[in-house]
Structure 1
């Protein structure tokens, strides 16, 4: 009983009392380490299993910044200034709207760093036990996941030619929160993400007992996502294959009923690692917001995603197809994304026939039985565009599209975004500095780190 009380006290203090940003200034006094630091494997697991308050959550502001979301003028007028600036790609400073998107991943980094630090105090005999190894591997995975979530939001896209001179993240690698640190370079940021993931692989269990816990399959899947974002197609392909060799269950959408309000509740067979986007009702559930009609037009009438992913709302389509337990959008790792990663990588390295086979494997389970015609003999350019279209249609509102636009524009796709707002067109040019979301002004004022340019 005393142990349970201690764990509860640890979690309450850490969740309620520590709002962890990149640099000191938030706390006037560092909390007593003896009060908040767990010391047993069970207590350390309890920190990482705190998925409802801290872990297994990620930024949600990326989707409304992308071209997948439409917010009508009537709804936009009811939002606060920060949310309007975000949707309209305004160069004006953001005050509070991104605070959770910035602070929550850094809370996860803190939790991971506490675990990693405390694990080093264990005797050698315990360090050889699999539970200790899996715990360390999980902490490394969570830190990498958090850093990558932040990088996709608050850094420019990864260009290997300029990454050494592009601002990255504040890389906190130990639990001390009173060490003033500046921003790393983008290369240093991604080197750290990759190092954490590679170090996690020999430690993690092949598959986890719960989808909310990291696993070897999840680490490979995240490596595939990160390498694809970096434009390293060979390594992304290798990581995809490694993940799929462990977990390759693909849900046949013909077995999913469109009758429930949320068709995929309880049908998470494809999910490898479960994570949710922090809920933002103004673009997800509220009247006056919808999925962009231009995206809806890409679906074939026999494509089951059209009925399973969307419902009708005031002449538009509202998204309801999240792979989640309840309401929040899903942003984790799943087999469908891995197949799309693999198909794109194969196409980009000239293995067109193999790429079509992988894409066919996915789509035959997305179309009404007997209606899908397998793709054959597509030319490279046509095939790649088909894969990218299917990627957008499959991974809608998972927090992925904004990062895809950034990486694709660096690869020459020239995706220029535009919106009509109150009768005027606004545009976001290719590779504009605003693709790195502005760090909350509150954080800049507190820590003095460099703001993203506008």
Structure 2
């Protein structure tokens, strides 16, 4: 199937300079006057093309700027955040569930993800220019891993999730684009959700079996990261046996969830303890990942002006012995009003970058533990679920003593730890969606005591069509055959 979905956006791919990343740690040269057919013959140029695919993940619609930033959208749409009247009203459309094909507050992900996919497919088009061997296999593995990850990000947002409802697997999926051909204009959505997941898993399995592993380079997929992503995909698919198997393989290669001592530095510096894949950022690029949450935070204080704040009920779920409480949040006044602010993405003292210019954590080992714990519970393996939970909690709570839970109590603890660990990290919306749950806000206001004006939207039921975001109208304008999601 051919990529014409974002034709106007990806025309820049025809120049290699568009593939050159500004990332630190990379020495890349622009040669934008060289045709692709001639340029894609050397190992250096293939490496640059792969770097460009990874670099695109930080673009608008993924992790940059404020509106549509995927670090915050899954929180503002649910019960993890509440609108701050002192903010600028960014992402208010998403917060208020006023999704529209014409509004980019949410749908920016669609365009940027297919841009990533196009960048990943470009080196694959020329892969036969490389001699058979480990370098070629590695390039193909990275390209397919990035391609699979981007397709997964799209399909979980814009389509039903297999575990969401009984009809999800046979419902309309997205195009799985495997060819670099930006001028194609006749694509239709002729795959089911199940078929899209099969393609994602196929690409990831190829990648994990062929990648030249470099586990210390957290800016690219490693075997541990690919297995970790597979645990996420299999969990969403409802294939719990494979979710456990893939997750265990990831944990065997990278077991640390981030130690109690190191964990604050994962967010306040360049520490990568427990990080499987991060998206590089630098002063030169100046991608303001954290601006979606707030302005004004510093490493030691700051007159913080937040766009959205943490409800009292969630803030109180983080007990005082939980290292995540201080690593993720700060109680501070703005214009003499105390609020619970998110500082998880605010600063990077280790990298010396400006406010909110941080490296996005695409995947962490802690999530893999939670994926496996949930899948193990579904399979009746409460022993494994308890072991994983206790390992994680030992590195989050000072003085923690392991416990053994069972039944509903164990399930509730898995869900609680998932909410606490992955708060403000691109998860909460998808947890509600994939489990087919009602999203119910608490009716709290933004003040630290729960007072103030609550959100207008309080309840979203599982059968609401807005769980599937609208396809951008700009895409349909370019490609009239592309079907819009029901309800829009």
- TM-score bucket (shorter structure): 0.7 to 0.9
Aligned to 1:453: 486
Q: Cα offset for 1:46? A: 0.8
CA 1:355–1:99: 2 relative to 1, 3 Å: closer
Aligned to 1:141: 145
In structure 1, C-alpha distance between the alignment counterparts of 2:393 and 2:177, rounded to whole Å = 41
CA 1:428–1:168: 2 relative to 1, 3 Å: same
CA 1:13–1:274: 2 relative to 1, 3 Å: closer
Aligned to 1:305: 324
Aligned to 1:162: 167
In structure 2, C-alpha distance between the alignment counterparts of 1:386 and 1:107, rounded to whole Å = 38
In structure 2, C-alpha distance between the alignment counterparts of 1:420 and 1:367, rounded to whole Å = 27
Aligned to 1:90: 98
Q: Deviations over 1:231-252 (max 9, x none)?
A: 2211110000111111112322
Q: Deviations over 1:292-325 (max 9, x none)?
A: 3322121122111111221123322222235976
Aligned to 1:27: none
Aligned to 1:23: none
The question of whether the paired residues in 2 share the 8 Å contact of 1:406 and 1:431 is answered with no
Aligned to 1:281: 291
Q: Pairwise mapping of residues 20-99 of structure 1 onto structure 2 (< 5 A)?
A: 34=36, 38-50=40-52, 53-55=55-57, 58=62, 60=70, 61-75=73-87, 78-79=88-89, 83-98=91-106
Q: What is the CA RMSD across the aligned residues, in angstroms? A: 3.0
The question of whether the paired residues in 2 share the 8 Å contact of 1:70 and 1:292 is answered with yes
The question of whether the paired residues in 1 share the 8 Å contact of 2:162 and 2:236 is answered with yes
The question of whether the paired residues in 2 share the 8 Å contact of 1:94 and 1:441 is answered with yes
Q: Cα offset for 1:35? A: 7.4
Aligned to 2:284: none
SS in 1 for 2:210: coil
Structure 1 gaps, min length 5: 1-7, 17-30
Q: Cα offset for 1:354? A: 2.3
The question of whether the paired residues in 1 share the 8 Å contact of 2:262 and 2:273 is answered with no
Q: Deviations over 1:112-168 (max 9, x none)?
A: 11111111233xxx212x121111100000000100111122222224842453121
The question of whether the paired residues in 2 share the 8 Å contact of 1:106 and 1:146 is answered with yes
Aligned to 2:471: 439
SS in 2 for 1:79: coil
The question of whether the paired residues in 1 share the 8 Å contact of 2:53 and 2:120 is answered with no
Q: Cα offset for 1:415? A: 4.0
Aligned to 1:406: 433
The question of whether the paired residues in 1 share the 8 Å contact of 2:99 and 2:106 is answered with no
Q: Cα offset for 1:65? A: 1.9
SS in 2 for 1:313: strand
Q: Cα offset for 1:284? A: 4.3
SS in 2 for 1:332: strand
CA 1:348–1:121: 2 relative to 1, 3 Å: same
> Residue 242 of structure 1: which of 231, 249, 260 is its match?
249
CA 1:420–1:154: 2 relative to 1, 3 Å: farther
In structure 1, C-alpha distance between the alignment counterparts of 2:34 and 2:422, rounded to whole Å = 43
CA 1:333–1:13: 2 relative to 1, 3 Å: closer
CA 1:56–1:198: 2 relative to 1, 3 Å: farther
1:364 aligns with 2:394: yes
What is the TM-score with the length of structure 1 in the denominator?
0.82
CA 1:359–1:269: 2 relative to 1, 3 Å: same
Structure 2 gaps, min length 5: 1-12, 22-32, 63-68, 281-286, 296-304, 446-452
In structure 1, C-alpha distance between the alignment counterparts of 2:359 and 2:78, rounded to whole Å = 15
SS in 2 for 1:274: strand
Aligned to 1:20: none
Name whichever of 84-93 and 294-303 sits farther off. Answer: 84-93
SS in 1 for 2:331: strand
Q: Cα offset for 1:440? A: 1.9
Aligned to 1:176: 181
Aligned to 1:28: none
The question of whether the paired residues in 1 share the 8 Å contact of 2:263 and 2:273 is answered with no
1:114 aligns with 2:122: yes
SS in 2 for 1:312: strand
CA 1:138–1:337: 2 relative to 1, 3 Å: same
CA 1:110–1:312: 2 relative to 1, 3 Å: same
The question of whether the paired residues in 1 share the 8 Å contact of 2:225 and 2:250 is answered with yes
Aligned to 2:108: 100
1:374 aligns with 2:376: no
What is the TM-score with the length of structure 2 in the denominator?
0.77
Q: Cα offset for 1:209? A: 5.1
In structure 1, C-alpha distance between the alignment counterparts of 2:75 and 2:468, rounded to whole Å = 14
SS in 1 for 2:276: strand
Q: Cα offset for 1:264? A: 3.4
The question of whether the paired residues in 1 share the 8 Å contact of 2:124 and 2:143 is answered with yes
SS in 2 for 1:50: helix
In structure 1, C-alpha distance between the alignment counterparts of 2:141 and 2:307, rounded to whole Å = 43
SS in 1 for 2:396: coil
Q: Cα offset for 1:91? A: 4.9
